[in-house]
């Protein structure tokens, strides 16, 4: 059975022969991530991106932050530069990724609906617009959703199995905005993109860090198959376990706490609690690693401990593995 098939079995709770995974070498991955190149939703360390957002970084991490936003006032909206995703050349890298990784589950990047918006408008302005300019804000969300739907169709033509957006919605203990405002302004846009993916036979994935438990039921309702969640301890595995069997968790050991500051035994124990609370033998849990370990303060030793413990758990659940993923 290919890695792609194993991932799909886990997503649909059809009992895979082992836990799917996304680990560094030598442990292997069932995934390949791709998208348009250049990526219109790229988050740079420094420089100006395709939308006109200016990025800078203090160093030590892969990502920077936007220090100059192109839509300072809504008068700037009409001059906004929108990346061209209809140029066939930008999709060549996705086509090549499929050709080189026929057996892997291929996830294609789609422009985010919240982070890209506040990169363009500024976070404080975005929050104020919810109250002061909701129609204009909704128009920009709609523009990003239109771009997302067109990207979905392009990714389907390249052979992608799923799509992913990258939107951190949470603070440490709550959403950044009220759940009701999220439902009014963003939920319909996510539904459009997820529906477009489903129409093409692709699965919808969302990366979102912070406290997002209050909108997980909504996301499941509109078709989310998997949440790419790097932090869990701010919500608690017991609370997240309420979504077990309805949503797949694509997650490492909590990157802020246990993975960064825990002992080896604490990491192993957390791996086991994750597998028990978030998934089942039928599926619903896919362990991964955090791909900026230096920025998060993860040692190679701790990464190895986590990967090896998840492999042990998989063998205990399913038996000895045959045909491990490569690359």
CATH numbers and ranges of domains, the chain: 3-318 (3.20.20.210)
In this predicted structure, the answer to whether residue 323 has a pLDDT above a threshold of 70 is no
| Nearest alpha carbon to residue 12 among 140, 105, 125 | 105
* Location of structure tokens 């918006």: 117
**pLDDT 10s digits, 205-215:** 999 999 999 99
In this predicted structure, the answer to whether residue 32 has a pLDDT above a threshold of 90 is yes
Q: What pLDDT is recorded for position 53?
A: 96
In this predicted structure, the answer to whether residue 250 has a pLDDT above a threshold of 70 is yes
CA gyration radius, the chain? 19
Q: How far apart are the first and last CA of the chain?
A: 16
Q: What pLDDT is recorded for position 321?
A: 81
* Location of structure tokens 């740079």: 44
Q: What pLDDT is recorded for position 62?
A: 72
In this predicted structure, the answer to whether residue 312 has a pLDDT above a threshold of 70 is yes
Structure tokens given for 43: 């988050």
Measured in degrees and rounded to the nearest 5, phi and psi for residue 226 equal -145, 140
Measured in degrees and rounded to the nearest 5, phi and psi for residue 280 equal -150, 175
Judged by average pLDDT, the poorest of 61-70, 87-96, 128-137 is: 61-70
Q: How confident is the model at residue 326 (pLDDT cuts 50, 70, 90)?
A: low
Reported pTM: 0.96
Residues 6+ apart with CB under 8 A from 86: 150
Q: How confident is the model at residue 129 (pLDDT cuts 50, 70, 90)?
A: very high
Distance CA 325, CA 29 (A): 6
In this structure, which long-range contacts are made by residues 46-51, counting pairs with CB atoms below 8 Å and at least 24 apart in sequence?
49/119, 50/81, 50/83, 51/80, 51/81, 51/82, 51/83, 51/116, 51/119, 51/120
Mean pLDDT score, 105-134: 98
* Location of structure tokens 């059809």: 14
Q: What pLDDT is recorded for position 44?
A: 84
Q: What pLDDT is recorded for position 59?
A: 77
**pLDDT 10s digits, 167-188:** 999 999 999 999 999 999 999 9
Question: What strands, in cross-sheet order, belong to the sheet with 285-287?
Answer: 31-34, 105-109, 162-166, 203-207, 224-228, 248-251, 285-287
């Amino acid at each position: 059975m290919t890695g792609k098939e194993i991932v799909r079995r886990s997503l649909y709770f059809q009992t895979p022969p082992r836990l799917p995974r996304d680990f560094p070498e030598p442990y292997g991955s069932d995934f390949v991530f791709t998208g348009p190149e250049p990526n219109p939703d790229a988050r740079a360390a420094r420089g100006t991106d395709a939308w006109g957002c200016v990025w800078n970084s203090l160093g030590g991490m892969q990502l920077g932050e936007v220090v100059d936003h192109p839509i300072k006032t809504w008068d700037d909206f009409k001059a906004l530069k929108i990346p061209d995703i209809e140029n066939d050349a930008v999709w060549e890298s996705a086509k090549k990724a499929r050709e080189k990784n026929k057996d892997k589950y291929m996830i294609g990047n789609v422009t985010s609906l919240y982070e890209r918006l506040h990169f363009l408008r500024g976070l404080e302005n975005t929050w104020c617009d919810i109250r002061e300019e909701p129609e204009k804000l909704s128009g920009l969300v709609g523009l990003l959703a239109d771009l997302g739907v067109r990207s979905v169709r392009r990714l389907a033509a390249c052979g992608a199995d799923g799509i992913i957006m990258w939107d951190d919605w949470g603070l440490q203990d709550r959403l950044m905005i009220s759940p009701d405002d999220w439902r009014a302004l963003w939920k319909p846009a996510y539904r459009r993109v997820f529906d477009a993916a489903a129409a093409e036979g692709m699965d919808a994935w969302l990366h979102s860090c912070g406290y997002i438990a209050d909108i997980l039921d909504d996301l499941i309702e509109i078709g989310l198959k998997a949440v790419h969640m790097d932090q869990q301890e701010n919500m608690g595995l017991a609370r997240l376990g309420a979504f077990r069997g309805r949503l797949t968790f694509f997650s490492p050991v909590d990157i802020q706490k246990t993975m960064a500051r825990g002992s080896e035994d604490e990491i192993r124990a957390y791996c086991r609690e994750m597998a028990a609370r978030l998934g089942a033998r039928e599926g619903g849990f896919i362990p991964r690693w955090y791909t900026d370990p230096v920025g998060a303060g993860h040692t190679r030793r701790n990464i190895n401990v986590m990967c090896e413990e998840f492999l042990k758990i998989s063998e205990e659940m399913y038996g000895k593995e045959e045909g491990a993923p490569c690359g």
